[in-house]
């Protein structure tokens, strides 16, 4: 049975063997909230809530910039997708870390309440096995917004 997170206007399901981290919220401006869940293997899925007037493209670009500063040779592909009739914009990123290839997906959207940035990342072998889990968590987040 999946675990359920429901605070700060954010609601989603995640695997019950993943660990939840809300500590990052203390480091964000008061109007922003973030929560991250980690797989036993180190992959993670995160959502950050920003004020509605925040531009999702600028937030996503800032995330890509931070990855570029951290990982030399970052490969970036722009992506647009639709899930539950919501348009998500963002990037798929690939990079090397500790001689392993990694994938990160950054997605953003805005609704009537807030602007959201969803970020997931894993070493490529783990990413392939978790792709559907990441999608399910995002789906449950968007479903809760209906």
Find the DSSP H helices in the chain. 56-70, 124-144
The predicted-structure confidence for 49-95, as pLDDT tens digits, reads as follows: 999 999 999 999 999 999 999 888 899 999 999 998 899 999 999 98
The structural domain count of the chain equals: 1
pTM: 0.91
DSSP 45: E
What CA–CA distances, in Å, run from 69 to 36, 72, 96, 124, 143?
Answer: 22, 7, 13, 20, 34
| CATH code, domain with 10 | 3.40.1000.10
End-to-end CA distance of the chain: 22
Lookup: tokens for 73: 């040779």
């Amino acid at each position: 049975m999946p675990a359920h997170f429901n605070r700060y206007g954010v609601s989603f399901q995640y695997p019950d063997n993943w660990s939840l981290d809300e500590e990052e919220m203390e480091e964000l401006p008061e109007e922003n909230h973030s929560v991250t869940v980690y797989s036993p293997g180190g992959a993670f899925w995160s959502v950050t809530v920003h004020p509605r007037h925040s531009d999702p493209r600028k937030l996503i670009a800032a995330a890509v910039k931070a990855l570029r500063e951290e990982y030399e040779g970052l490969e970036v592909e722009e992506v647009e997708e639709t899930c539950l009739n919501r348009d998500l914009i963002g990037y798929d990123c690939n990079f090397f870390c500790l001689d392993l290839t990694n994938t990160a997906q950054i997605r953003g959207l805005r609704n009537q309440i807030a602007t959201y940035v969803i970020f997931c990342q894993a070493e490529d072998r783990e990413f392939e096995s978790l792709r559907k889990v990441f999608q399910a968590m995002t789906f449950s987040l968007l479903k809760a917004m209906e």
